[in-house]
Amino acid sequence: MIRQVLKRLDPLRFRCYCPICRSQLRSFQPFGVRPRPNALCPVCGSLERHRLVWMYLEEEGATLFTPPKKRMLHAAPEACMSKLFQRSEYIDYISIDIEPCAMIRVDLTSACFPNDTFDVIYASHVLEHIPDDRKAMREIFRILKRGGTAILQVPINAKVTFEDSTIITPSQRECVFGQSDHVRIYGEDYYERLKEAGFEVQRKKVRVQLDRCASRRIGVSRDEEITLGIKE
């Protein structure tokens, strides 16, 4: 489907395509504290990481949108994706956040759900905001059903995770961690933290990332991976 759309794009008029809102665009817009080019969809507000996960769900995780019905938890819901999940007749959808922007106001380190509740949990760029991320990982594992999958994206920008609990002001955090509400910089040992919480970890890419031109048209990084935590 995506490849067919890309072939139809007029490279002189519409050089970009958002797979979430299915908009043909002249370009994506810069976005971020240190603005990243080719990042923001001006129609639905999706960013690179949202479009990458959506591509994964369409290409590899399409069973989310087919029978039988699945229970899905979406932490810190992105509006561009939340409404699409809610529209699916095969998703029993709940969104949570510590802010009043979700269906239920919940702290991910102390979730108000029974064990083995959800088939799918999606949390993108959430854990780097949580001081006790290991506790949040254990809670995600607890409320995920056996055989369920958690999609747990974080920015990984170091070899080894760096955190310092004495860095507390927004200006300090922006200077050290790159954003005023981040509390760490994740490294490659992020995957070990997930394993310690009980997950089997899988790291995947989507087909479009193999093509430099196609990945640029959809506005996704060729290097970022989809991080899956499986509860066996």
What are the tens digits of pLDDT across the range 128-174?
999 999 999 999 999 999 999 999 999 999 999 999 999 999 999 99
Mean pLDDT of 208-224: 94
**What pLDDT shows up at residue 45?**
97
Q: Which domain holds residue 164?
A: 47-207+222-230
Q: List C-alpha distances in Å: 7 to 1, 10, 54, 83.
A: 10, 8, 19, 27
Measure the CA–CA gap between 217 and 181, rounded to whole angstroms: 30
Determine the pLDDT at residue 58.
Answer: 87
pLDDT at 13 over 70: no
The answer to whether position 12 is within a domain reads: no
Packing angle of the helix pair 48-59, 79-87 (nearest 10 deg): 20
The more confident residue out of 178 and 2 is: 178
pLDDT tens digit sequence for 75-88: 999 999 999 999 99
First and final C-alpha spacing in the chain: 32
Mean pLDDT value of segment 206-215 = 93
Tell which residue, 58, 72, 84, 85, has the closest CA to residue 206.
Answer: 58
Could you tell me which of 38, 125, 35 has the C-alpha nearest to residue 78?
125
Give the whole-number percent of the chain exceeding pLDDT 70: 94
pLDDT at 62: 60
Q: Can you read off the two tokens belonging to residue 178? A: 């790159």
> For residue 65, which of 79, 86, 48 has the smallest C-alpha distance?
86
Scanning 166-218, the segments in alpha helix (DSSP H) are: 170-177, 190-196, 212-218
How far is residue 173's CA from residue 79's CA, in Å, rounded to a whole number? 26
State how far the Cα of 75 lies from the Cα of 104, in Å rounded to an integer: 10
Helix or strand (DSSP H, E) at 95: strand 91-97
Please check whether residue 123 lies inside any domain of the structure: yes
Residue 57 lies in a domain: yes
Which residue in the block uniquely carries the two structure tokens 């981040």? 182
Q: Is residue 40 part of a domain?
A: no
Question: Is 16 among the domain residues?
Answer: no
Q: Please, which pLDDT band fits residue 1 given cuts at 50, 70 and 90?
A: low
Residue range 117-138: mean pLDDT, rounded: 98
Band the pLDDT of 66: cuts 50, 70, 90. Answer: confident
In the predicted model, is pLDDT for residue 188 greater than 90?
yes
Q: Is the dihedral of CA 189, 32, 218, 150 positive or negative?
A: positive
Q: What is the pLDDT of residue 63?
A: 78
Query: Which token pair is 183?
Result: 């509390």
Answer whether residue 104 is part of any domain.
Answer: yes
Q: Which two tokens stand for residue 104?
A: 């239920």
**Amino acid present at 156:** I
Indicate the DSSP class of residue 74: E
- CATH code at position 142: 3.40.50.150
- The Cα 133–Cα 67 span in angstroms is 33
The pLDDT score that the predictor gives to residue 8 is: 53
Is 30 within the bounds of a domain?
Answer: no
pLDDT, one tens digit per residue, over 34-65 is 899 999 999 999 999 999 999 999 887 667 88
**Structural domain tally of the chain?**
1
Per residue in 93-109, pLDDT (tens digit) is 999 999 999 999 999 99
Q: Which pLDDT score, from 0 to 100, does residue 2 have?
A: 55
Is position 8 within any domain? no
DSSP state of 210: G
